[in-house]
Amino acid sequence: MKNRLSRLIQRDGRAMFLPIDHGYFQGPTTRLEEPGKTIAPLIDYVDGIMLTRGILRNCVDPAINKPIILRVSGGTSMARRDELDQEGIITSVREAIRLNASAVSMSVFVGASGEHQTLLNLARLVDECEDYGIPVMAVTAVGAELEKRDARYLALASRIAAELGARVVKTYYCEEGFEKVVRGCPVPIVIAGGPKVDSEMEVFSWVHDAIQKGAIGVNLGRNIWQHDHPVAMAKAIRAVIHENATPKEAQQVFESERLAA
């Protein structure tokens, strides 16, 4: 368990994960139509990639030496948006071991009709993964209800995920009260980015503030690979996470990388 976690969480205690799992319910999302091409220029700047077995098998060179966080929950689609919270476990732990995953990830939908089912999915998955020393990263998902992302909700969902045995929790950042989300969650927290926003500075500010308030890093996808300058975004966010860059310094990294490209 410690060995796998140490591949993902770096010696400085921080982590930058790149999720490219969105297709498991969104299909060929914009700029993730060919995931292998999307990640090729970014892979050197991230500490791990999160994806499904189908994309790992078909689109990622097995020779890449990058820790894998294997998404193992799903079974829903954007075609039935009201049922996004009805996920099940879609990949066995045996398969995760065979694919040499450093962790597995799955979603819980606290406050939705799929709450009970997805929390039990988490508990059962943790039971099985602990036998093999595989960390489970719980994703506190909100489906289409993005407005749910306030501190009270995120603290509730993150704490429950940790109580049920998640070794890492992926949640959302919130401007007000994020420190309470971190304080109430006894395992490391990484933040997602959510849908792409227009300003790079906004992303750098979220990441910086989240880290100041105790998050260990990010599991952030669309605001990197849907950007016109994904490598510059990845390098700037990496500077915030691993070099303690301020949002302003990150913007400078972004601008110089953008011009150099």
Chain positions contacting ligand R5P, by CB under 6 A: 19, 21-22, 50, 139, 192-194, 219-222
- Per the annotation, the verdict on 2 as an active-site residue is no
Nearest to ligand R5P of 141, 164 (CB atom): 141
Of 34 and 256, the one with the shorter C-beta distance to ligand R5P is 34
Helix axes 200-212, 230-243, angle to 10 degrees: 20
* CA dist., res. 261 & res. 250, Å (int): 16
CB nearer to ligand R5P: pick between 208 and 222: 222
Q: At its nearest, how many Å lie between ligand R5P and the CB of residue 203?
A: 9
Residue among 82 and 260 whose Cβ is closer to ligand R5P: 82
Burial of 225 (0-12, 13-18, 19+ CB in 10 A): buried
Give min distance, CB of 186 to ligand R5P, in A: 22
The upper half-sphere exposure of residue 260, i.e. CA atoms within 13 Å in the direction of its Cβ, equals: 10
Beta strands 15-19; 168-172: pairing state: unpaired
Q: What is the DSSP letter of 184?
A: T
Structure tokens at 44: 């050197």
What is the nearest approach in angstroms of ligand R5P to the Cβ of residue 30?
Answer: 11
Determine the number of helices (DSSP H) and then strands (DSSP E) in the chain.
12, 10
Catalytic residue among 170, 180, 213, 235: 170
Residue closer to ligand R5P, measured from CB, 72 or 182: 72
Q: Write down the least CB distance from residue 50 to ligand R5P, Å.
A: 5
**Euclidean distance between CA atoms 93 and 233, whole angstroms:** 33
The answer to whether 16 and 241 have CB atoms below 8 angstroms apart is: yes
Task: Give the torsion through C-alpha atoms of 126, 178, 51, 97, to 10 deg.
Answer: -30
Q: How far apart are CA 161 and CA 168, in angstroms?
A: 9
User: Which residues are known to be catalytic?
Assistant: 170
